[in-house]
Amino acid sequence: MTRPPKLLIFDSGLGGLTVFAEIAKLRPHADYLYCADDAGFPYGSWKEPALVERVVTLMEALIAEHAPDMAVIACNTASTIVLPDLRLHWPNVPFVGTVPAIKPAAERTRSRMISVLGTPGTVARDYTQNLIAQFAGHCSVTLVGSQRLARLAESYMHGERVSDADIVAEIAPCFREEGGRRTDAVTLACTHYPLLIEEFKRLAPWPVEWIDPAPAIARRADQLLGERFGAGAPGDGPAARRAIFTSGLQPSGLLATTLARYGLGRDFASTPGAGRA
């Protein structure tokens, strides 16, 4: 293949940037289209059938218009419910999902007390329950569905003030002590949360291992790309990085500066046919 592969990275908002950043480290010369469904944000409280329909409809427009070689659903809330539908509709597009990193948490914990911090949608999913049953049977698992953290992470990325008290209130339920043992691993089961990782570390009542699956997801995407298109050698050709916001709003001010740090500053575009949810 002479042209660089084109990757679509999709999330409800800016959380997918945490996954995009890791993939771009491994594949700096790929073309990237980052799509934030900000018109539908937050996904955490959507009912499952409506969310499936929303994502499939958006994907239809995105795939028709941009013909990506791979789509990364950089959102746990969506991945834990829509991946089977996406794979059924587009059997020729490889989809890489983002699901709660329960296995690594269960492998690394010493206290056998782990917490899964995600959106209310993600922690309620059968998919999450199945991962726990499959990989964490020996652990006490605390599921924490945060109503506000994804929004706080968005505010943070827009350069707005986020108070310590607000963050503490959301992460506090992850920290449990029981019979001389205490939580020592917390899975970040929402791609927005690693955006606040330094705040989590600073505000945690005791140190824990925060598990961000983004590097593992990036390795998986890189491996699949390697199988289809070969290794991404430096100097493969000119690459494009564009961001799309389904609201049609153009990022301004601090957000534009933040996106530019990810190389997403050059060519913002809106998604036809998306519109407000």
272 contacts: CB under 8 Å, gap ≥ 6: 61, 65
Q: What is the DSSP letter of 46?
A: S
Is 75 annotated in the active site? yes
Is the Cβ of residue 76 or residue 246 nearer to ligand DGL in the bound state?
Answer: 76
- CB 192 → ligand DGL: shortest distance, Å? 4
Is the Cβ of residue 29 or residue 220 nearer to ligand DGL in the bound state?
Answer: 220
Binding range to ligand DGL, per CB under 6 A, among 41-49, 63-71, 198-206, 250-258: 41-49
CA atoms within 13 A on the CB side of 82: 34
Asked whether position 213 contacts ligand DGL by CB under 6 A, the answer is no
Q: Cα–Cα distance between 56 and 60 in angstroms, integer?
A: 6
Is 35 annotated in the active site? no
65 contacts: CB under 8 Å, gap ≥ 6: 271, 272
Is the Cβ of residue 20 or residue 41 nearer to ligand DGL in the bound state?
Answer: 41
Is the Cβ of residue 75 or residue 106 nearer to ligand DGL in the bound state?
Answer: 75
Selected catalytic residue, list 35, 139, 174, 190: 190
Contact between residue 137 and residue 131 where contact means Cβ atoms under 8 Å apart? no
Asked whether position 77 contacts ligand DGL by CB under 6 A, the answer is yes
Q: Cα–Cα distance between 51 and 108 in angstroms, integer?
A: 33
Asked whether position 44 contacts ligand DGL by CB under 6 A, the answer is yes
Asked whether position 192 contacts ligand DGL by CB under 6 A, the answer is yes
Residues 110-149 as x/- pattern, contact with ligand DGL by CB under 6 A: ---------x--x---------------------------
Asked whether position 18 contacts ligand DGL by CB under 6 A, the answer is no
- CB 3 → ligand DGL: shortest distance, Å? 30
In the β-sheet with 241-245, what is the strand arrangement from edge to edge?
Answer: 95-96, 70-73, 6-11, 31-36, 241-245, 269-270
Q: Cα–Cα distance between 78 and 161 in angstroms, integer?
A: 28
Helical (H) or strand (E) element with 223: helix 214-229
Asked whether position 20 contacts ligand DGL by CB under 6 A, the answer is no
Asked whether position 99 contacts ligand DGL by CB under 6 A, the answer is no
Q: What is the largest CA-CA distance in the chain?
A: 60
- CB 154 → ligand DGL: shortest distance, Å? 9
Asked whether position 251 contacts ligand DGL by CB under 6 A, the answer is no
Asked whether position 150 contacts ligand DGL by CB under 6 A, the answer is yes
Task: For residue 233, give the amino acid letter.
Answer: A
Binder of ligand DGL out of 34, 73, 76, 259 (CB under 6 A): 76
Record the tokens describing residue 199, joined without a space.
Answer: 């705040």
State CA 244 to chain mean position distance. Answer: 16
Instruction: Please spell the DSSP secondary structure of 158-186, one letter per residue.
Output: TT----HHHHHHHHGGG--EETTEE--EE
Binding site for ligand DGL (CB under 6 A): 11-13, 15, 41-44, 75-77, 119, 122, 150, 190-192
Q: Which residues are tagged catalytic?
A: 75, 190
